[in-house]
Structure 1
Amino acid sequence: FFLDMLKGFVPTALALSFYGIESQTVAFVGVACVVGHMYPVFARFRGGKGVATAFGVVLALSRELAFLVLLLWGALLLWKRYVSLASVTGALSAPVLMLFGNYPDHIVLMALIIAALILYKHRPNLERLVRGEELRV
């Protein structure tokens, strides 16, 4: 988890330090980090689901926002005990919380794109959840 998170944190933090949050470059870097994790060239485009990497992107943008997303993720995990449901909900919560946090539109759009990608990668988990076959922790 930690190394995957760093994949999102380090490039996004560097982009923020060079360009600032007002630059659309930061949004492109954030999406690129997650897409690169999900579809790595060297692993024949078979990668992870992007949750930890996306969390790293959010952490680089705002520790407070990352804390809220992590709090929601943890609460839902404790309540329902489905990692996939907690992960998708956490991903979807980031752009919603950003709307209340005065983030630039391109950053909110970046978070929406990342959330959609995470939702897409979790399709099999969500299908199992609907069928009652998803494993609990």
Structure 2
Amino acid sequence: MIEWLLIPAAYLLGSISSAIIVCRVMGLPDPRAEGSGNPGATNVMRIGGKKAATITLLGDMLKGLIPVLLAQILDVGPVILSAVVLAAFLGHLYPVFFGFAGGKGVATSFGVLLGANWMLGLAVGLTWFVVYKLFKISSLSALVGATLAPFYVYLIMGMQPLVYVAALIAVILIWRHKTNIQRLLAGEEK
């Protein structure tokens, strides 16, 4: 029974906005009202610098990682594990504590995938790193990593519900990055 409680707990933990908290604590402007208006690490970098962005990135990653690791420790089945992964991710995108307006989900998606399987996190992380080294565009790196994540799940963990959840996360990340994609296609993405 307790394993089912992990799903709403993961959503609530995902709903904590690292960007908003970091900006408040560091005396920075609200990231929803500055820069791109996105409460994520990239926008925090614009308005507060590397230190604030790094803390935000780690916070967003950890809020995905922690509930999934807890699910692993409790040895829940693949269906509940997949639901916990999705709940933490959706909590970041649609946080109950911040009017259901959250970030794009890249760091949190990395955290949930890392929690599901360290080799999966390594594969996605290396993909991001290689694409970033080649093109120096963070959004492109995130989109390529997200797109390949379902294939990595299948190769590393076999066919299971997490393959479908990783595919859904990829679709959502692509949708959330639609303006970045438009800029990429126009050659204007920084």
Q: CA RMSD in A?
A: 1.3
2:166 aligned to which of 108, 111, 130:
111
Quick one: distance in 2 between partners of 1:47 and 1:120?
14
Alpha-carbon deviations, 1:95-123, whole Å to 9, x = none? 11112123342011111111111111111
Quick one: distance in 2 between partners of 1:103 and 1:29?
18
Segments of 4+ moved more than 6 angstroms: none
TM-score, normalization by structure 2: 0.67
Relative to structure 2, which stretch is displaced further, 76-85 or 39-48?
39-48
1:60 aligned to which of 115, 121, 146:
115
Identify the residue that residue 178 of structure 2 maps to in structure 1: 123
Q: Give structure 2 stretches of 5+ with no counterpart.
A: 1-56
TM-score, normalization by structure 1: 0.91
> After the TM superposition, which residues 24-39 of structure 1 pair with which residues of structure 2 at under 5 Å, given as runs?
24-39=79-94
Quick one: distance in 1 between partners of 2:156 and 2:133?
26
Higher relative contact order (CA 8 A, sep 6+): 1
Structure whose CA Rg is larger: 2
Residue type of the alignment partner of 2:165:
M
1:70 aligns with 2:70: no
Residue type of the alignment partner of 1:26:
L
Please give the secondary structure, in 2, of the residue aligned with 1:98.
helix
> After the TM superposition, which residues 91-106 of structure 1 pair with which residues of structure 2 at under 5 Å, given as runs?
91-106=146-161
Identify the residue that residue 12 of structure 1 maps to in structure 2: 68
Contact 2:78 2:160 in 1 (8 A): no
Residue type of the alignment partner of 1:8:
G
Using a 3 Å threshold, how does the CA distance of structure 1 residues 50 and 93 change in structure 2: closer, same or farther? Answer: same
Alpha-carbon deviations, 1:62-98, whole Å to 9, x = none? 1122111111101100101111110011111111111
